Amino acid sequence: MAAGIAEVALLAGFEVVVRSRTERGAADLVAQVSKSLGKRVERGKLESHVRDTALQHLTTTTTLEDLSRGSIVIESVVEDYEQKMLLLRQLDSVMPVGSIIATNTSTLSVSDLALATLQPDRVCGIHFFNPATTMPLVEVIRPATASQSTIEAALAFVAACGKDAVLVRDDPGFIVNALLFPYLNNAIKMMERGTASIDDIDTAMKGGCNFPMGPFALLDLVGLDTSLSIIETLHAASGKDADRPAESLVRLVGEGHLGRKTGRGFHTY
Ligand SMILES: NC(=O)c1ccc[n+]([C@@H]2O[C@H](COP(=O)([O-])OP(=O)(O)OC[C@H]3O[C@@H](n4cnc5c(N)ncnc54)[C@H](O)[C@@H]3O)[C@@H](O)[C@H]2O)c1
């Protein structure tokens, strides 16, 4: 997600600084952005000089303090509450007064994350969809703690990126994932019951609902670890047994099969 968000911001004309924990991680991200922009040029969708300028505006660092020139920072690390909380606290101490801090979390409570910082009024959610480069929607999540100016700055950033924003209260799963993930979880349970195969369920939801991809292909695209984390958060919020994560999802994540990013999930790539 980080590479996609960086690419969107670069094409919108922003200077982007990406902080990775390792030089290797930073190099991988630049390679991803460069490859994706190169594909746009090959397809005739982007002038090569625009790609070159965008890449000149991308710098990477492994030092958090190097983000301190920014007016907005978006964290997009692994969907884990402890890691995000720790990172937001650190960002709060390095980001200048007047800047805003956003999280790309898929389901974690933005209010809880904001309250981990000393300035919760400048924390909100800016939730991109996968792939960020092509999906038009961004959810702007407004925790009760956020100031009006934070939300306005977030909405202005999303508009500048050419995306359509929806403003949503900080409820579990926001809009899209609250509606989407019960369906994805139920698709796995349907397969487990033996109603139909993975391929047939994918085919059915494409042909029967005009969805661009079936539930298993989508779970693999999102990443099974991220998907499990989202479903666990929704389950914890509802407390309903019906929302418990499907067994095969838990098993695949335990085995390290995380979807497209590891080459195997419900499908093999
Ligand atoms: N995958 C999706 O479809 C999707 C869509 C929207 C939002 N999100 C959200 O975006 C975030 C990232 O998801 P992803 O799919 O890119 O996950 P991913 O597992 O593909 O990537 C996470 C990256 O974060 C890095 N990382 C982990 N801890 C870190 C830390 N403390 N500091 C710096 N880097 C760290 C990892 O090395 C990895 O490169 C999550 O919050 C997720 O919920 C994901």
pLDDT tens profile 149-198: 999 999 999 999 999 999 999 999 999 999 999 999 999 999 999 999 99
pTM confidence score: 0.95
C-alpha distance from residue 37 to each of 45, 101, 133, 144, 157 (Å) = 9, 27, 10, 38, 21
Distance CA 269, CA 267 (A): 7
Q: Which of the listed residues 29, 73, 77 should we mutate to test ligand 1's pocket, taking the one with most ligand atoms within 8 A of CB?
A: 77
Q: What is the pLDDT of residue 185?
A: 98
- Residue 199 CB neighbour total at 10 angstroms: 14
CATH class as words, domain 68-173: alpha beta
Residue 59's closest CA among 14, 4, 8? Answer: 14
Average pLDDT in the 28-54 region? Answer: 97
Q: What is the pLDDT of residue 233?
A: 95
Tell me phi and psi for residue 240, to 5 degrees: -90, 135
Is 93 tagged catalytic? no
Catalytic one of 127, 227, 229, 235: 127
Average pLDDT in the 45-56 region? Answer: 97
> Confidence band (pLDDT; 50, 70, 90) for 103?
very high
Whose tokens are 């909405």? That residue is 155
Q: What is the whole-number distance in angstroms between the Cα of residue 104 and the centre of ligand 1? A: 9
Fold of 176-262: N-(1-d-carboxylethyl)-l-norvaline Dehydrogenase; domain 2 (1.10.1040)
Q: In percent, how much of the chain has pLDDT > 90?
A: 100
> Confidence band (pLDDT; 50, 70, 90) for 209?
very high
> Confidence band (pLDDT; 50, 70, 90) for 211?
very high
Q: What is the pLDDT of residue 52?
A: 97
Average pLDDT in the 135-141 region? Answer: 98
Identify the H or E element spanning 264. Answer: none
Q: What is the pLDDT of residue 244?
A: 98
CB–CB of 137/176 below 8 Å? yes
The residue extents of the domains of the chain are 1-62, 68-173, 176-262
Q: What is the pLDDT of residue 171?
A: 96
Residues with CB under 6 A from ligand 1: 1-2, 21, 25, 76-79, 83, 87, 104-106, 127-130, 222-223, 226, 261
Residue 150's closest CA among 116, 103, 105? Answer: 103
Identify the H or E element spanning 124. Answer: strand 123-128
Is 232 tagged catalytic? no
